Amino acid sequence: MIGTRFAHYEITGHLGSGGMGDVYRAADSKLGRSVAVKFLPDPFARDTWRVSRFQREARVLASLNHPNIGGIHGIEDIDGRMFLVLELVAGETLADRIARGPIPIDEALAIANQIAEALEAAHDVGIVHRDLKPANVKITPDGQVKVLDFGLAKALDGGEIESAASASPTMSLAATQRGLILGTAGYMSPEQARGKPTDRRTDIWSFGVVLYEMTTGERLFKGEDMTDTLAAVVREKPDFSAAPREIQHVLQKCLERDVKKRLRHISGFKLLLERAETERVPLPAKSRLRWLSWTVAALATTALIALAFVHLSEQPPPLAGVQFFLDAPPDTAFTNNYGGLAPSPNGRYLVFSARSLSGTAPQLWLRPLDSLSARPLAGSEGGNFPTWSPDNKSILFLSGGKIKRIEIAGGAPLAVADASESSVTVTGTWNSDGVILIGSSAGLRRIAASGEDTLLTKIDATRRETGHGYPQFLPDGKRFLFFIASGDPGIQGVYSASLDHPGEHKLIVRTSAKGVFVPGNHNFPDYLLWMQDQTLLAQRFNTRTARVEGDPASVAENVGTNPSNPIRSAYWASDAGLLIYFSTAAAAKRRILMLARDGKQVLEVPEDSFMRVALAPGSEQIAVAKADYSAPQGNIDVWVREFSRGVMTRLTFDAGNDDFPIWSPDGKQLAFVSNRDGTSQIYIKDASGAGKEERLTSSPGLKFVLDWSKDGKYILYREQNPGTGRDLMAIPVMPTNGERKPITVVQTPFAESTGALSPDGQWIAYASNDSGTNEIFVQSFPGTPGGPSGRWQVSSGGGYDVKWRGDSREIYYESLDGKMVAVEVQGSPQGIRAQQRRELFSTNFTRNSLREFDVTPDGQRFLLIANPRAESADHLTVVSNWQAALRK
């Protein structure tokens, strides 16, 4: 950026960065002066809401023409870059000055008076700063004070500032259900920290905090992390004892917790300052001695009385819950909202999976809650299902068919155990003895510190169990809670067991989603969090008896639940009382695009909650799986859309999830997977909607439909096998001797995730992770006359979902870094030979997801589901001390 010219502005240096823009020094050649220019970040430039807010900041600043307020010269939009042209203020910030030590009282009051002048000028025209702090105050070399960054300000309406749906430039916070939290934690007013409406009195509170810090060199409100600081602001009575005596009454009026008793206008500060000056007049010597003796006696008596009173009667102030939103890091989006996150046990860190919007593979990120930024964990590419160590220093995660361990302090990850993505399905738990439990489709796996890996619990097929997951050790480190998934709603729920007696399962609560145990802390009791529909409930939990007690209470509404797998609800909680969750929101809506081979858009289907897409023979229709998030636990149905009329027709209507639709070769039927009978089975139905569905399968494993052979004989599908994980199977469409017997297509100890049959019926292309990364392979389809044995790799650098061209001469797959790749292949009696490999275009589809793209038979058009635009990305809700709300 340095040296870049925008019209008559040349960038000469970088001054800093904030949540709403990067600030640079620039030379204005037209007027021969130096200015500061504030650019809107590129990812935000496409966001009309943020652009509007940026323009509002310009208008606000322009209305504040005052010698103690940093001015604005203009707003420019040049070559698609929007920026403010600001007064370049020389000197250091007040934060820099305080860092050198307490400011002498005379100097501090002179600075405070100029800050008050700036606030008074802003308040008089109906503007509130809402982010006043030392870093936003500059002191020029000649001692003039300039208050900067009124970017959070909003014009008063009727004399009051109301919370607006905008984010803070200094904290990644956003609107809550009760209002908005803006500003920096230690300088917020109590009402601001609670997300309540704010007015000019919130600036007066911040002013008092800044005044205290100037005169003492110490922060008034501080904690080990951001949530502790916010809690201190909300619950602690400010202690002014370290401040100079003559300004303590000033601080008391500015820092009244009851906003009605607080100083109502900053102009009153001048009168308080006059009183402070009066109190600084020295007393005569005799008066000082007499005053000192009486003061010492009075203080001693008062101290003894106060000590006795505190010892006998003082109750600690109750902890208050604080709620806010967190966004993904700039230029990224959260991935796997149902399994890619975890708070550390001490509540100080979040680990989450996010992907770059430019198309790189997802990886794990670490966000300290007392920091404004997150950092990627090197070596965690493709990481999923993170689990924290009990000492908060390490993370286990699943990646490339391995369970890996990584230190948050840095270093390469180490492989702990083998695990395909199919055999390990949910997060785990880790006790102080180093014993790790991981969920899987076969049961809970126990991994010892030595690396020994054994199956601790086993699923019971007679109870229609399909997996054990979400284990969590209780405080004794021996007993644990876990979730049993089953096709029988009477069986499915949260259970307890122990390392000594893992086969003795005790039902805690019946629920269709995971449960989370939260140990008691800060005078809060032990709780079990569990889901009822999309409401998160908390119920007291007796760890001695392993039973819930009393009635459950609602903690959060509309918590996200995976429609395809409701077990994976999008919430997590730490031992320290930190709750995080994703809500079911409009962000789930995505567009369907038709792209040419060069990536140019040919057609767009308006966004909806699309999950799967299949192009009909003739390319006149598409079948989609579409989620209804308003239904309890969500519901998925199959729909058909006609391109010519743009009409969507619903094909399935039952209460179960109907997913993964594919067309028969003649376009007259659709096959799909449904759990309407309690287990995952394949059905076919007339594409017109007439008649009843016909069930084809009966085995209990989880199934995903992948393809329908062009001769109409077989439906290819993926099935979860307790012994070998994800396998590729085929079911005959027409029964033989009254039955349909599935055939095994690809079965290995590794995970076969996706597959597609060549139109000529000779080959199957599929993804397998036996090399540690999903790659695309081709082998003969079973039963092909004279088909060669063996398999041939056609991808390079990883691949996932796969399709064939109509002549069986080209394969298309999604690369792991977001590219659509085409590979020319040549079949022969000796096997498949991959020839030219080309990257066609980059796109914003969901990585490692099934059936989210299709291709026309000629290979010239690609149909795919695009992820939400950046402005509709998910927000993570964070609640500290969530238990406090249950007392109300």
Compute the Cα dihedral for 740, 746, 752, 758 and give only its sign: negative
Taking the C-alpha atoms of residue 132 and residue 119, their distance in angstroms, rounded to an integer, is 10
* 3-class DSSP state of 55: helix
Taking the C-alpha atoms of residue 246 and residue 263, their distance in angstroms, rounded to an integer, is 17
Of 630, 628, 652, 654, the residue nearest 639 (C-alpha): 652
> CA dihedral in degrees (778, 779, 783, 786; nearest 10)?
120
* 3-class DSSP state of 297: helix
DSSP codes joined into one string, 325-382: EEPPPTTEEE--TTTSEEE-TTSSEEEEEEEETTSPPPEEEEEETTSS--EE-TT-TT
CB proximity list for 784: less than 8 A, separation 6 or greater: 761, 762, 763
DSSP assignment, residue 396? E
Query: Position 712: which residue type?
Result: G
Burial of 409 (0-12, 13-18, 19+ CB in 10 A): exposed
* Cβ-based neighbour number of residue 161 at 10 Å: 24
Taking the C-alpha atoms of residue 125 and residue 130, their distance in angstroms, rounded to an integer, is 15
Separation of CA 685 from chain center: 38
The strand pairing partners of 615, in sequence order, are 622
CB proximity list for 745: less than 8 A, separation 6 or greater: 716, 727, 728, 729, 730, 755, 764, 781, 782
Taking the C-alpha atoms of residue 809 and residue 823, their distance in angstroms, rounded to an integer, is 9
C-alpha R_g of the chain: 32
Q: How far apart are the first and last CA of the chain?
A: 53
CB proximity list for 248: less than 8 A, separation 6 or greater: 240
853: left (phi over 0), alpha (psi -120 to 50) or beta: beta
* DSSP strand pairing (648-650 vs 635-642): antiparallel
DSSP codes joined into one string, 447-458: E-TT--EEE-S-
Q: Which member of 28, 47, 131, 526 is catalytic?
A: 131
The strand pairing partners of 578, in sequence order, are 880
What is the CA angle 359-362-365, rounded to 5?
A: 125
What is the CA angle 805-809-811, rounded to 5?
A: 55
Residue with tokens 């040349």: 10
Strand order in the sheet with 322-326: 322-326, 876-880, 578-582, 571-573
Known catalytic membership, residue 628 = no
Of 675, 819, 20, 688, the residue nearest 360 (C-alpha): 819
Structure tokens at 772: 């540690």
Taking the C-alpha atoms of residue 814 and residue 799, their distance in angstroms, rounded to an integer, is 5
Q: Residue 111: enclosing H or E segment and its boundaries? A: helix 105-124
What is the CA angle 71-77-83, rounded to 5?
A: 40
Of 71, 17, 56, 61, the residue nearest 39 (C-alpha): 17
DSSP codes joined into one string, 610-630: EEEEEEPTTSSEEEEEEEETT
In 3-state terms, the chain is what percent helix, strand and coil (to 5)?
Answer: 15, 40, 45
Q: Give the active site residues.
A: 131
